[in-house]
Amino acid sequence: MTRIIIQNTTVLTLDDYNTFYYPGIIEIRNDKIFSIGDWARDTISDEYDGETTIIDGTDKLGYGDNLPLWEFLDRIWYPSIRALTPETCLTAALHSYITALKSGTTTVNDMYRHLDSLASAALQTGIRAVISNNIALPEHMLDSVDDNVQAFKRNNNLGNGRIKVWLGLEWMPLSDGPLLAEIGRVKKELGTGVHIHLCESRTEIADSMKRFGKRPVEMVYEAGILGPDCVAAHCVHLSDNEIRLLGETGTSFSHNAGSNAKLGNGVARVQDMLKAGINIGLGRATMEDASLGQPSQILRMGTRNGAKALGIDAGMLVAGKKADVILLDLKKDMMFTPLLKEPTEERRRMLESHLVFGCNGSGVDTVIVDGRIVVEGGKVLGVDEEKVRQEMDLLFRDLIDSIPKVTLEREK
């Protein structure tokens, strides 16, 4: 007789009544589910003779991701980041960078708040980071251009140049013409780049047309923001003219297919952008649609194209380039696939296809950033991963509790 207990978890039964338990508990005896229900710390019965395995099912789920983009930002995202402190921002950044490194990401392009904390997290974890503020108009209670300038002066080029500070514009609905012009001017004064969210939703396009009589890309083009030192994220709803402007200015595009799909924003015109000569990198996304490009092309989007977009001399294994390298164990877990040993050209094509369409972050064994090993055996060196996870759990609960208060304060 064996017993397995999964406790303190979210239970989606999929039964005829759509029963849902949170927190829930499942007890399995031998080959059958014995009981299922609500969980409390004294739920488990000791009236059992036999071996018992207890699994802690504590989970971390997305919050508010059933909402359309504008509502999600207004009701969930902005109140939560307004409530951030330098301490909580450090915890969030550590968790994010640990997750990135373990998936084989050597560089993040991170628009958030409290850039001193982001820089500290990057220094602790060893990741390469291009960080920027959430700049918006004052009434939105996020960050100002001056906040970003001061962060630039304190943090740019820390970690032997591994940390870069750019200007970050949240998105057009939280901006206006004078703010765009200021960002364009300061960008040139500092000699830095701009990270901007553009044309993410149809509501953003409608807002821009109503307020300015122009589309978002046209507005930032006139402000002098676009260029080889600008990364535009999302870009789901671009017009032909906007694609032309991105291509002609050398602006890079960060393709965030996962985020776009999760929030129901649509599909970016990747093929049209490629034809326009736009440099495309991969953001928080996976591209598993073969019609969007060949595996070799998609691999370059996730490596050398991203490095080019951020002005980093890396992204390929060539003598003299920055030593940002990942080692994958393709025999690990679900990563294995048989590869021909020869001819070598066919082995290369098979490997590229497997990395794009069949591989995931669980195959990452070692990560080297700037010539230093920062992940070994799948573990991030120099930080206590479990401690960060526990702190992140507490942070998430506190942020959710703070949303009503922060929203009320802004409405006063």
**137 pLDDT exceeds 70?**
yes
Predicted local distance difference test score (pLDDT) of residue 285 = 47
The stretch 279-302 carries a mean pLDDT of 74
Nearest-10 crossing angle of helices 86-102, 385-411: 130
Tens-place pLDDT, residues 248-258? 999 999 998 77
- The string over 121-160, giving b where at least 16 C-beta atoms fall within 10 Å of a residue's C-beta and e elsewhere, is bbbbbbbbbbbbbbbbeeebebbbbebbbebbeebbebbe
Helix (H) or strand (E) holding 110: strand 107-111
How far apart CA 95 and CA 381 sit, in angstroms, is: 13
DSSP letter at 383?
S
For residue 178, name the pLDDT band (cuts at 50, 70, 90): very high
Percent pLDDT > 70 in the chain is 90
CA distance 184 to 193: 10
Average confidence score pLDDT of the chain: 88
Is residue 204 very low, low, confident or very high in pLDDT (cuts 50, 70, 90)? Answer: very high
331-361, pLDDT tens digit by residue?
A: 776 667 777 777 878 888 888 888 888 788 8
Are the beta carbons of 118 and 129 closer than 8 angstroms?
yes
pLDDT for residue 262: 65
Q: How far is CA 191 from the centre of its chain?
A: 25
pLDDT at 284: 64
Residue 363: per-residue pLDDT? 87
The pTM of the full predicted model, rounded to 2 decimals, is 0.83
Q: In the numeric block, which tokens belong to residue 368?
A: 């080297």
Q: For residue range 17-70, list pLDDT tens digits in order.
A: 888 888 888 888 888 888 899 988 666 656 666 788 888 776 544 555 556 676
Please give the structure tokens belonging to residue 285. 């996304």
Positive or negative, the CA dihedral 360, 363, 365, 370 is negative
Cβ-based neighbours of 142, under 8 Å, separated by 6 or more:
78, 81, 82, 113, 133, 134, 135, 136, 170, 174
Residue 292's pLDDT band (cuts 50, 70, 90): low
Cα 377 → chain centroid: 23
Confidence of residue 144 (pLDDT cuts 50, 70, 90): very high
**174-178, 210-214, 260-264, 346-350: lowest mean pLDDT where?**
260-264
Cα 174 from Cα 7, distance rounded (Å): 43
In sequence order, the β-bridge partners of residue 33 are: 28
User: β-strand 364-369 against 325-328: which pairing, if any?
Assistant: antiparallel
Q: What is the mean pLDDT of residues 266-295?
A: 78
Identify the sign of the CA torsion 36, 37, 40, 46: negative
Positive or negative, the CA dihedral 273, 274, 276, 278 is positive
Cβ atoms of 192 and 156 closer than 8 Å? yes
Rounded mean pLDDT of 82-92? Answer: 93
Strand partners, 195: 168, 231
Find the farthest-apart pair of alpha carbons in the chain and give their distance in angstroms, rounded.
Answer: 75
Q: Where are the alpha helices (DSSP H) in 11-169?
A: 69-72, 78-82, 86-102, 115-125, 145-155
Residue 263's pLDDT band (cuts 50, 70, 90): low
pLDDT score, position 341: 74
pLDDT at 106: 96
368/331: higher pLDDT: 368
pLDDT at 46: 63
Long-range pairs of 291-294 with CB within 8 A, sequence gap ≥ 24: none
Strand pairing class (364-369; 372-376): antiparallel
The rounded distance, in Å, linking the Cα atoms of 348 and 326 is 17
Concatenating the DSSP letter of every residue in 164-218 gives EE-EEE--GGG--HHHHHHHHHHHHHHT--EEEEES-SHHHHHHHHHHHSS-HHH
> Could you tell me if 28 and 4 are in contact, meaning their C-beta atoms sit under 8 angstroms apart?
yes
Task: Locate 264 and state its tokens.
Answer: 């129901």
Q: How many helices (H) and strands (E) does the chain have?
A: 15, 16
Tell me the residue ranges of DSSP E strands in 142-241. Answer: 163-165, 167-169, 194-198, 230-234
Question: For residue 322, which of 110, 128, 102 has the smallest C-alpha distance?
Answer: 128
pLDDT at 193 over 70: yes
